[in-house]
């Protein structure tokens, strides 16, 4: 089978979470931003014009938002893993890249962003 090049990108899902290893992060929380690149076969959706043949990105965004604002985790790596696992529950997904941004991370020098990107496949 040839490598699938179809993809859906969902960029900039924002939520307020309480993730981090420091007490202040767990107490006060901060904004997290998640980007998704989902590799899947979109031929059937393109042919049928049927939402059931693709990924409902509105529902997916809501699930990711729930993970961002849900159970606190120490590491953004853990958040990325949980998001990837959620995306991979959809059987048409062959590969997922998840980037979690933590723009207000407790870093003592000027910076624009810190992020972690993971890629998982079936």
Q: Report the DSSP pairing between strands 30-40 and 93-101.
A: antiparallel
- Mention every residue, 6+ apart, whose C-beta is less than 8 A from residue 83: 34, 36, 64, 67, 98, 100
Q: Is 63 among the catalytic positions?
A: no
Is the Cα dihedral 87, 82, 37, 59 positive or negative? positive
Tell me which of 102, 113, 114, 121 is the catalytic residue: 102
Distances (CA, A) of 9 to 25, 51, 85: 29, 16, 16
Catalytic residue positions? Answer: 102
């Amino acid at each position: 089978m040839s490598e699938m090049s179809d993809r859906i990108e969902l960029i900039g899902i924002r939520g307020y979470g309480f993730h981090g290893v420091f007490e202040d992060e767990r107490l006060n929380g901060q904004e997290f931003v998640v980007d998704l690149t989902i590799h899947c076969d979109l031929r059937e959706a393109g042919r049928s014009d049927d939402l059931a043949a693709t990924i409902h990105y509105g529902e997916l965004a809501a699930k990711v938002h729930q993970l961002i604002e849900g159970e606190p985790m120490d590491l953004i790596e853990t958040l990325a893993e949980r998001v990837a696992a959620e995306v991979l529950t959809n059987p048409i997904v062959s590969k997922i890249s998840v980037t979690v941004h933590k723009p207000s991370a407790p870093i003592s020098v000027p910076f624009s962003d810190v992020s972690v990107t993971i890629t998982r496949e079936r």
